[in-house]
Homo-oligomer: A and B are copies of this chain.
Amino acid sequence: MIIHEDDKGLGFLLGDAARLLRKVIDRRLQPFGLTRAQWAVLAMLASRDGLSQSELADELEIEKSTVGRLIDHVEASGLVERRPMANDRRFWHVHLTEQARPLITQVTEVILATRTEMLKGLTAEQQGRLGDGLAVVKSNLSAALEAATQLPRPS
């Protein structure tokens, strides 16, 4: 009765699901001129406007060079604005523009609809367990990454 797609392994399953999700969202956001990655930036700023690029990189867990390019795009689209900081000229605060607000409310609906569609057929409890499981996996992988990075073993 259970689906048990074990042929390809959980790792591939995880990658496939994530890739599919990106594909679906990219398509649905195309009419808005956005991609999934750009939306992640906007969504973060919607709740915490004025973050610096490095803070954004930390929150989104991607590299700062990637964040820089993403902001180039959304800034070119006029959705975001880099404002210099007075006391420290090294970094910028990234702010949403006026025209971003209405677009964000629209896109949020699309995203939420997609999420419920993606979780169709799962009970609330199953969804919770899925989230818990993914969180465990994520923290295991973070640990593995750090362990691999610090080659100098602390003995």
Contact = CB atoms under 8 A, between A and B. Distances in A.
A119 B137 contact: yes
Nearest to A121: B136
Interface string A124-135: 001111111111
A125 to B, nearest CB: 10
A149 to B, nearest CB: 8
Chain A binding surface SS class = helix
A131 B117 CA distance: 18
Contacts of A144: 24, 114, 117-118
Contact of A12 (B40, B126, B133): B40
Contact of A134 (B17, B115, B139): B17
Copies of this chain, count: 2
A17 to B, nearest CB: 4
Contacts of A23: 141, 145
Interface residues of A, number: 57
A85 interface: no
Given A118-B144, A141-B118, A148-B27, A16 B61 contact: yes
Interface of A: 2-6, 9-25, 27-28, 36, 40, 61-62, 111, 114-115, 117-122, 126-142, 144-145, 148
